[in-house]
Amino acid sequence: MKRKLPAKVEHAVADVHARSLGLADEFERDLRGAVSEVKTAIMCKAGCAHCCSYPLYVSVLEAIPTYRQLRDCGRWTPARRKKLQAHADTTVALAPEIWLLSLIACPLLDNGSCVAYSTRPLTCRATYSTGDPLRCHPHRMDATPSIIPKTSILEALSKEEIRVFKSLDASLVSMPLSKALLAAEALCEGDLEFDALNAWVYKEYEARR
Protein backbone atom coordinates (compact mmCIF):
# COMPACT_ATOMS: atom_id res chain seq x y z
CA MET A 1 0.00 0.00 0.00
CA LYS A 2 1.36 3.39 -0.98
CA ARG A 3 2.14 5.66 1.93
CA LYS A 4 0.12 8.83 2.23
CA LEU A 5 1.68 11.94 3.64
CA PRO A 6 -0.07 13.73 6.52
CA ALA A 7 -3.32 15.31 5.32
CA LYS A 8 -2.02 18.87 5.68
CA VAL A 9 1.02 18.03 3.56
CA GLU A 10 -1.11 16.30 0.91
CA HIS A 11 -3.30 19.41 0.76
CA ALA A 12 -0.18 21.56 0.42
CA VAL A 13 1.09 19.45 -2.48
CA ALA A 14 -2.31 19.70 -4.19
CA ASP A 15 -2.46 23.48 -3.68
CA VAL A 16 1.00 24.08 -5.13
CA HIS A 17 0.38 21.74 -8.07
CA ALA A 18 -2.96 23.36 -8.89
CA ARG A 19 -1.44 26.84 -8.71
CA SER A 20 1.44 25.75 -10.96
CA LEU A 21 -0.91 24.32 -13.58
CA GLY A 22 -3.15 27.38 -13.47
CA LEU A 23 -0.25 29.80 -13.92
CA ALA A 24 1.17 27.72 -16.77
CA ASP A 25 -2.17 27.63 -18.61
CA GLU A 26 -2.67 31.37 -18.17
CA PHE A 27 0.88 32.12 -19.32
CA GLU A 28 0.57 29.95 -22.44
CA ARG A 29 -2.82 31.40 -23.36
CA ASP A 30 -1.59 34.98 -23.05
CA LEU A 31 1.64 34.20 -24.87
CA ARG A 32 -0.06 32.55 -27.83
CA GLY A 33 -2.40 35.52 -28.13
CA ALA A 34 0.52 37.94 -28.03
CA VAL A 35 2.62 36.17 -30.65
CA SER A 36 -0.39 35.88 -32.94
CA GLU A 37 -0.93 39.65 -32.78
CA VAL A 38 2.64 40.41 -33.81
CA LYS A 39 2.64 37.64 -36.42
CA THR A 40 5.50 35.63 -34.96
CA ALA A 41 5.59 32.05 -33.74
CA ILE A 42 6.69 29.90 -30.84
CA MET A 43 9.69 27.96 -32.12
CA CYS A 44 9.82 25.19 -29.48
CA LYS A 45 9.52 21.70 -30.95
CA ALA A 46 9.88 18.14 -29.71
CA GLY A 47 13.52 17.13 -29.58
CA CYS A 48 14.84 20.64 -28.92
CA ALA A 49 16.27 20.44 -25.42
CA HIS A 50 18.75 23.30 -25.03
CA CYS A 51 16.71 24.70 -22.14
CA CYS A 52 16.99 21.36 -20.34
CA SER A 53 20.56 22.30 -19.40
CA TYR A 54 19.48 25.48 -17.61
CA PRO A 55 19.69 25.58 -13.80
CA LEU A 56 16.36 24.38 -12.38
CA TYR A 57 15.40 24.85 -8.74
CA VAL A 58 12.11 23.71 -7.21
CA SER A 59 10.59 23.04 -3.81
CA VAL A 60 9.88 19.53 -2.62
CA LEU A 61 6.13 20.25 -2.83
CA GLU A 62 6.48 20.89 -6.56
CA ALA A 63 8.68 17.81 -6.95
CA ILE A 64 6.36 15.31 -5.24
CA PRO A 65 3.90 14.94 -8.19
CA THR A 66 6.86 14.35 -10.52
CA TYR A 67 8.33 11.72 -8.21
CA ARG A 68 4.99 9.96 -7.92
CA GLN A 69 4.53 9.90 -11.69
CA LEU A 70 7.97 8.39 -12.20
CA ARG A 71 7.36 5.82 -9.46
CA ASP A 72 3.87 4.86 -10.59
CA CYS A 73 4.82 4.42 -14.25
CA GLY A 74 7.87 2.32 -13.40
CA ARG A 75 10.46 4.93 -14.31
CA TRP A 76 11.87 5.39 -10.81
CA THR A 77 14.48 2.71 -11.41
CA PRO A 78 17.82 2.13 -9.65
CA ALA A 79 19.55 3.53 -12.74
CA ARG A 80 17.34 6.64 -12.71
CA ARG A 81 17.94 7.18 -9.02
CA LYS A 82 21.69 6.81 -9.49
CA LYS A 83 21.54 9.40 -12.25
CA LEU A 84 19.54 11.76 -10.02
CA GLN A 85 21.98 11.30 -7.14
CA ALA A 86 24.96 12.07 -9.38
CA HIS A 87 23.21 15.19 -10.69
CA ALA A 88 22.31 16.30 -7.16
CA ASP A 89 25.86 15.78 -5.91
CA THR A 90 27.12 17.97 -8.76
CA THR A 91 24.57 20.78 -8.61
CA VAL A 92 23.39 21.11 -5.01
CA ALA A 93 25.89 23.86 -4.16
CA LEU A 94 26.94 24.83 -7.69
CA ALA A 95 26.70 28.44 -8.84
CA PRO A 96 24.07 28.83 -11.60
CA GLU A 97 26.66 30.41 -13.91
CA ILE A 98 28.91 27.36 -13.63
CA TRP A 99 25.91 25.08 -14.16
CA LEU A 100 25.15 26.86 -17.44
CA LEU A 101 28.75 26.79 -18.62
CA SER A 102 29.07 23.11 -17.73
CA LEU A 103 26.07 22.05 -19.84
CA ILE A 104 24.67 19.83 -17.07
CA ALA A 105 21.53 18.32 -18.58
CA CYS A 106 18.41 17.52 -16.59
CA PRO A 107 18.53 13.92 -15.32
CA LEU A 108 14.96 13.40 -16.55
CA LEU A 109 16.03 13.98 -20.15
CA ASP A 110 16.28 10.80 -22.24
CA ASN A 111 17.22 11.10 -25.91
CA GLY A 112 15.89 14.64 -26.10
CA SER A 113 12.58 13.86 -24.35
CA CYS A 114 11.41 14.48 -20.78
CA VAL A 115 10.35 11.30 -19.00
CA ALA A 116 8.09 13.28 -16.65
CA TYR A 117 6.66 15.76 -19.13
CA SER A 118 3.10 15.79 -17.78
CA THR A 119 4.25 16.72 -14.26
CA ARG A 120 7.23 18.92 -15.16
CA PRO A 121 7.81 22.03 -13.00
CA LEU A 122 6.34 25.42 -13.82
CA THR A 123 9.73 26.73 -14.93
CA CYS A 124 9.75 24.10 -17.67
CA ARG A 125 6.09 24.57 -18.61
CA ALA A 126 6.60 28.30 -19.08
CA THR A 127 9.82 28.17 -21.11
CA TYR A 128 9.11 29.29 -24.67
CA SER A 129 11.23 30.72 -27.45
CA THR A 130 10.14 32.85 -30.40
CA GLY A 131 13.59 33.07 -31.97
CA ASP A 132 16.23 30.84 -33.46
CA PRO A 133 16.38 27.72 -31.24
CA LEU A 134 20.17 27.82 -31.41
CA ARG A 135 20.05 31.00 -29.31
CA CYS A 136 18.58 28.97 -26.49
CA HIS A 137 21.83 27.02 -26.11
CA PRO A 138 23.40 27.92 -22.74
CA HIS A 139 26.61 28.99 -24.47
CA ARG A 140 24.79 31.35 -26.83
CA MET A 141 22.54 33.19 -24.40
CA ASP A 142 24.61 36.37 -24.84
CA ALA A 143 23.16 36.67 -28.34
CA THR A 144 19.77 38.28 -29.01
CA PRO A 145 17.46 36.81 -26.32
CA SER A 146 14.83 34.41 -27.60
CA ILE A 147 13.39 33.02 -24.35
CA ILE A 148 10.16 34.71 -23.27
CA PRO A 149 10.47 36.25 -19.76
CA LYS A 150 8.41 34.42 -17.12
CA THR A 151 9.52 36.09 -13.91
CA SER A 152 6.04 37.25 -12.96
CA ILE A 153 4.47 33.79 -12.84
CA LEU A 154 7.46 32.24 -11.10
CA GLU A 155 7.15 34.94 -8.44
CA ALA A 156 3.43 34.21 -8.18
CA LEU A 157 4.14 30.52 -7.55
CA SER A 158 6.83 31.41 -5.04
CA LYS A 159 4.35 33.54 -3.08
CA GLU A 160 1.92 30.61 -2.99
CA GLU A 161 4.66 28.25 -1.84
CA ILE A 162 5.78 30.65 0.89
CA ARG A 163 2.18 30.79 2.13
CA VAL A 164 1.78 27.02 2.02
CA PHE A 165 5.10 26.28 3.71
CA LYS A 166 4.25 28.81 6.42
CA SER A 167 0.97 26.96 7.05
CA LEU A 168 3.10 23.86 7.63
CA ASP A 169 5.41 25.71 10.04
CA ALA A 170 8.27 25.37 7.57
CA SER A 171 10.33 27.62 5.33
CA LEU A 172 10.38 27.48 1.56
CA VAL A 173 13.64 25.96 0.34
CA SER A 174 14.34 25.63 -3.37
CA MET A 175 16.90 23.12 -4.56
CA PRO A 176 18.02 21.48 -7.81
CA LEU A 177 15.25 19.31 -9.25
CA SER A 178 17.32 16.16 -8.70
CA LYS A 179 17.76 16.88 -5.00
CA ALA A 180 14.09 17.84 -4.64
CA LEU A 181 13.07 14.52 -6.22
CA LEU A 182 15.29 12.58 -3.84
CA ALA A 183 13.71 14.48 -0.95
CA ALA A 184 10.28 13.70 -2.37
CA GLU A 185 11.16 10.00 -2.44
CA ALA A 186 12.32 10.09 1.18
CA LEU A 187 9.09 11.80 2.25
CA CYS A 188 6.73 9.62 0.23
CA GLU A 189 8.40 6.36 1.21
CA GLY A 190 8.54 7.15 4.92
CA ASP A 191 12.29 7.67 5.24
CA LEU A 192 11.89 11.34 6.17
CA GLU A 193 9.20 13.23 8.06
CA PHE A 194 8.12 16.61 6.73
CA ASP A 195 8.95 18.29 10.03
CA ALA A 196 12.57 17.22 9.55
CA LEU A 197 12.80 18.29 5.90
CA ASN A 198 14.47 21.67 6.39
CA ALA A 199 17.09 20.22 8.71
CA TRP A 200 17.77 17.47 6.16
CA VAL A 201 18.23 20.01 3.37
CA TYR A 202 20.48 22.29 5.40
CA LYS A 203 22.61 19.32 6.45
CA GLU A 204 23.06 18.38 2.78
CA TYR A 205 24.16 21.90 1.87
CA GLU A 206 26.44 22.25 4.89
CA ALA A 207 28.24 19.05 3.90
CA ARG A 208 29.25 20.69 0.62
CA ARG A 209 30.37 24.06 1.90
- Report CA-CA distances (Å) from 165 to 15, 97, 177: 11, 28, 18
What integer pLDDT is reported at residue 30 of this predicted model? Answer: 92
Pairing of strands 175-176, 113-114: unpaired
- The answer, yes or no, to whether residue 204 has pLDDT greater than 80, is no
What average pLDDT does the segment 168-186 reach? 95
How many residues are given for the chain?
209
Residue 192 · residue 183 · CB < 8 Å: yes
Q: With bands split at pLDDT 50, 70 and 90, how would you rate the model's confidence at 203?
A: confident
Q: With bands split at pLDDT 50, 70 and 90, how would you rate the model's confidence at 41?
A: confident
Phi/psi for 6 (5° steps) reads -50, 145
What integer pLDDT is reported at residue 145 of this predicted model? Answer: 58
- The answer, yes or no, to whether residue 15 has pLDDT greater than 70, is yes
What integer pLDDT is reported at residue 165 of this predicted model? Answer: 96
Helix (H, G, I), strand (E, B) or coil at 87: helix
Q: With bands split at pLDDT 50, 70 and 90, how would you rate the model's confidence at 48?
A: confident
Least Cα distance to 163 among 172, 173, 154 occurs for 172
The 10s digit of each residue's pLDDT in 118-166 is 999 999 999 998 888 888 888 876 655 578 889 999 999 999 999 999 9
Q: With bands split at pLDDT 50, 70 and 90, how would you rate the model's confidence at 29?
A: very high
Q: Mean pLDDT over all residues of the chain?
A: 91
DSSP H or E run through 69: helix 60-72
Q: Among 10-14, 25-29, 40-44, 118-122, which stretch is predicted with the lowest mean pLDDT? A: 40-44
What integer pLDDT is reported at residue 208 of this predicted model? Answer: 67
Least Cα distance to 128 among 58, 39, 57, 27 occurs for 27
What integer pLDDT is reported at residue 51 of this predicted model? Answer: 92
Q: Which residues pair with 58 in a beta bridge?
A: 175
What integer pLDDT is reported at residue 209 of this predicted model? Answer: 61
Residue 90 vs residue 140, higher pLDDT? 90
What average pLDDT does the segment 35-48 reach? 81
- The answer, yes or no, to whether residue 1 has pLDDT greater than 60, is no
The DSSP secondary-structure symbol of 147 reads B
DSSP per residue, 177-192: HHHHHHHHHHHHTTSS
| Torsion on CA atoms 171, 172, 176, 182, rounded to nearest 10 | 60
What does the domain layout of the chain look like in residue ranges?
Answer: 7-206
Q: With bands split at pLDDT 50, 70 and 90, how would you rate the model's confidence at 102?
A: very high
